């Protein structure tokens, strides 16, 4: 049955108005209900998200002054333990930040991986020196890799460079003798340098040594090649000094010495010496990649603040604060070393200590038998100098010996008397020394200079060994006397043709006595980016030859 609409409750007015209100009432209610429903969903979802265990943990961590649980921190072992201890319970926080984990990895390992193009597996990196980011760029350049752009932030900790010696030697190295300059002058003890390519304290020490000698390139080069013997690690250096039967000094850090002393207990036979002339120290910075997230950048600030407000835990791990202050009032503050210069001196060291592949081209013309000093001939003096020069070369180097005079073998002016071999091979080193002592037996004929130089340089170019310092060491006392061979202009033209900047073969030429064609030697050296020396007095021969060998790695940029 159909019932008529009830108009009892209808408002006054036109019937059409009443119909309109009744018709659209359901749509309005639907809209209101929809808004309420959406609001409820958002509220419920938000509550679910907020109540996730991870979110709740992060909120609690933030409230306690902790870092996000998923933040990745990689730090050098020198600072990793101290950093983790501080971040697990920061001084300004109110709880235990159990989620903080710091991965310990040697700075050199991280730097090499980044330099070879590997993606960073950290959000924040704390190396033991600000040098390492520059090292990353250097590795990338040499390998042609694309390394991440790194941003070096605040330094959070430091440790000064010290010299470590047995107590008896340490007591004599006091006052003015407690200095890097002493290392440059000393003759009575050996200095052990942990490998600068992997140990930052050594590159900082090299910079201090360079500063101590006034930045003089020649003095510094000789010092690097003759003074410091490199050992693989800091531990090796300290152990060797502690057990050395001869006087020796190890270059390391205050922290490394402190840890060594702690391990030895009351039986530590070593003492730390704080250099008085050049203050050097490692600064440990916070490093991030250039496109780090806001969360990471906030974490950097949090870490810097937590360490600066630390309650002494840096000192418990043998470290000083960022400015180099120690809790020991008797120890003066030492500011961190300039990391840019530290990397530059490391680069210099690597060039200077690169294995040499040297061809010694020795003049044995008749004039070498002329008297030089007393009853000694030019050749006698040269033989003595040659022996010293061989001893100055590292065991990683290789050496060949040629002699030259006019028409030694038919129309050929040069002769190989010792083929290339490693000086680390006792038999080859003995053969080289025996030959140096017996060069007088080859003396005779004129000076077949130009053809011999071209032959030697050509041979070195054809047999070039990458990664080594390939060079010709030319020793002569006269002028070219081979009228049937090359002229000087022809020689220089040929040297220019075979020159390759990517594979340099410098000629280091030494002229002995007043009869030398020094102008020709200088032109030959210039054409090969080498150097020319002259020993005018007999007493100069030994000094000049050894100096020339010492300068082999920095040519043509030695001062």
Domain boundaries along the sequence of the chain: 34-63, 73-156+284-316, 161-281, 355-550
C-alpha distance from residue 412 to each of 148, 418, 450 (Å): 55, 17, 11
Question: What is residue 263's three-state secondary structure?
Answer: helix
pLDDT at 258: 92
Does residue 76 or residue 387 have the better pLDDT?
Answer: 76
Q: How does residue 15 score in pLDDT terms, banded at 50, 70 and 90?
A: very low
Q: How does residue 105 score in pLDDT terms, banded at 50, 70 and 90?
A: very high
pLDDT at 45: 34
pLDDT at 337: 86
Pairing relation of β-strands 248-253 and 150-166?
Answer: antiparallel
pLDDT at 342: 92
Residue 341 — left, alpha, or beta (φ > 0 → left; ψ -120 to 50 → alpha)?
Answer: alpha
Does residue 489 or residue 26 have the better pLDDT?
Answer: 489
For domain 355-550, the CATH class is alpha beta
The answer to whether the beta carbons of residues 81 and 126 sit under 8 Å apart is no
CATH number, domain 73-156+284-316: 3.40.190
* Domains 73-156+284-316 and 355-550 in one fold: no
Q: How does residue 370 score in pLDDT terms, banded at 50, 70 and 90?
A: confident
For residue range 176-216, what is the model confidence (pLDDT) as tens digits? 778 888 776 765 677 888 999 999 999 999 999 999 888 87
- CA–CA distance, 511 with 436 (Å, rounded to integer): 18
- CA–CA distance, 421 with 397 (Å, rounded to integer): 9
> If you average pLDDT over residues 4-30, what whole number do you get?
37
- CA–CA distance, 89 with 94 (Å, rounded to integer): 8
**At the fourth CATH level, which superfamily is domain 161-281?**
Periplasmic binding protein-like II (3.40.190.10)
| Residues in Cβ contact with 352 at an 8 Å cutoff, skipping those fewer than 6 apart | 221, 224, 225, 553, 554
pTM of the model: 0.71
| Residues in Cβ contact with 70 at an 8 Å cutoff, skipping those fewer than 6 apart | none
Cis peptide before 227 (omega within 30 of 0): no
Q: How does residue 469 score in pLDDT terms, banded at 50, 70 and 90?
A: confident
% residues pLDDT > 90 (the chain): 49
Backbone angles phi, psi at 252, to 5 degrees: -155, -160
For residue range 376-399, what is the model confidence (pLDDT) as tens digits? 888 988 888 888 778 777 788 899
C-alpha distance from residue 151 to each of 78, 287, 341, 451 (Å): 21, 6, 18, 55
pLDDT at 548: 65
The average confidence (pLDDT) of the chain is 82
Least confident of 12-16, 169-173, 237-241, 301-305: 12-16
pLDDT for 442 beyond 60: yes
pLDDT at 24: 36
For residue range 216-251, what is the model confidence (pLDDT) as tens digits? 776 787 677 665 567 889 999 998 888 865 678 899
Q: Where are the alpha helices (DSSP H) in 200-293?
A: 200-212, 217-226, 234-242, 254-264
Least confident of 67-81, 410-424, 523-537: 523-537
pLDDT at 8: 37
pLDDT for 280 beyond 80: yes
C-alpha distance from residue 324 to each of 80, 81, 197 (Å): 18, 19, 24
pLDDT at 230: 74
% residues pLDDT > 70 (the chain): 81
Least confident of 129-138, 319-328, 345-354: 345-354
Query: Per-residue b/e over 91-128, b at no fewer than 16 CB within 10 Å?
Result: eebeeebebbebeebbbbebbbbbbbeeebebbbbbbb
pLDDT at 159: 97
Q: How does residue 307 score in pLDDT terms, banded at 50, 70 and 90?
A: very high
Q: How does residue 365 score in pLDDT terms, banded at 50, 70 and 90?
A: very high
pLDDT at 547: 63
pLDDT for 59 beyond 80: no
C-alpha distance from residue 298 to each of 64, 80, 288, 303, 432 (Å): 15, 20, 12, 9, 63
- CA–CA distance, 123 with 316 (Å, rounded to integer): 26
């Amino acid at each position: 049955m159909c019932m008529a609409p009830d108009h009892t409750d209808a408002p006054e007015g036109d019937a059409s108005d009443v119909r309109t209100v009744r018709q659209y009432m359901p749509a309005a209610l639907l809209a209101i209900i929809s808004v309420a429903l959406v609001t409820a969903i958002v509220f419920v979802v938000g509550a679910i998200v907020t109540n996730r265990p991870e979110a709740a943990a992060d909120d609690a961590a933030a409230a306690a002054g902790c870092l996000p649980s998923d933040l990745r921190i990689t730090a050098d072992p020198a600072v990793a333990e101290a950093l983790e201890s501080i971040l697990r319970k920061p001084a300004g926080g109110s709880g235990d930040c159990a989620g903080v984990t710091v991965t310990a990895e040697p700075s050199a390992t991280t730097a090499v991986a980044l330099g070879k193009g590997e993606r960073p597996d950290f959000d924040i990196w704390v190396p033991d020196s600000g040098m390492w980011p520059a090292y990353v760029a250097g590795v990338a350049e040499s390998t042609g890799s694309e390394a991440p752009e790194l941003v070096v932030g605040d330094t959070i900790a430091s440790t000064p460079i010290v010299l470590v010696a047995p107590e008896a030697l340490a007591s004599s190295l006091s006052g003015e003798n407690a200095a890097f300059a002493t290392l440059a002058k000393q003759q009575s003890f050996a200095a052990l340098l942990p490998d600068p390519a992997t140990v930052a304290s050594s590159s900082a020490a090299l910079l201090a040594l360079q500063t101590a000698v006034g930045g003089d390139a020649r003095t510094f080069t000789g010092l690097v090649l003759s003074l410091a013997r490199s050992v693989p690690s800091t531990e090796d250096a300290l152990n060797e000094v502690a057990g050395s039967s001869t006087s020796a000094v190890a270059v390391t850090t205050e922290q490394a010495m402190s840890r060594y002393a702690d391990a030895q207990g009351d039986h530590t036979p070593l003492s730390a010496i704080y250099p008085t002339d050049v203050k050097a120290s490692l600064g440990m910075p916070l490093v991030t990649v250039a496109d780090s997230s806001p969360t990471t950048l906030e974490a950097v600030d949090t870490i810097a603040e937590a360490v600066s407000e630390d309650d002494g835990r840096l000192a418990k791990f043998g470290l000083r604060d960022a400015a180099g202050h120690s809790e020991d009032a008797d120890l003066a503050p030492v500011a961190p070393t300039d990391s840019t210069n530290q990397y530059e001196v490391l680069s210099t060291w690597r060039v200077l200590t690169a294995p040499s592949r040297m061809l010694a081209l020795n003049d044995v013309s008749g004039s070498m038998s002329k008297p030089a000093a007393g009853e000694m001939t030019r050749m006698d003096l040269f033989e003595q100098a040659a022996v010293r020069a061989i001893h100055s070369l590292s065991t990683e180097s290789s050496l060949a010996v040629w002699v030259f005079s006019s028409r030694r073998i038919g129309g050929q002016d040069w002769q190989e008397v010792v083929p290339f071999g490693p000086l680390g091979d006792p038999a080859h080193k003995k053969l080289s020394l025996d030959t140096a002592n017996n060069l007088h037996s080859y003396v005779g004929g004129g000076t077949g200079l130009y053809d011999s130089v071209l032959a030697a340089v050509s041979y070195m170019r054809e047999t070039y060994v990458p990664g080594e310092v390939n060079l010709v060491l030319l020793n002569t006392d006269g002028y070219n006397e081979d009228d049937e061979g090359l002229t000087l202009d022809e020689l220089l033209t040929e040297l220019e043709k075979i020159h390759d900047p990517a594979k340099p073969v410098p000629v280091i030429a030494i002229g002995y006595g007043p009869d030398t064609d020094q102008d020709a030697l200088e032109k030959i050296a210039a054409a090969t980016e080498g150097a020319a020396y002259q020993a005018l007095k007999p007493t100069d021969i030994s000094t000049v030859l050894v100096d020339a060998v010492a300068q082999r790695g920095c040519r043509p940029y030695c001062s």
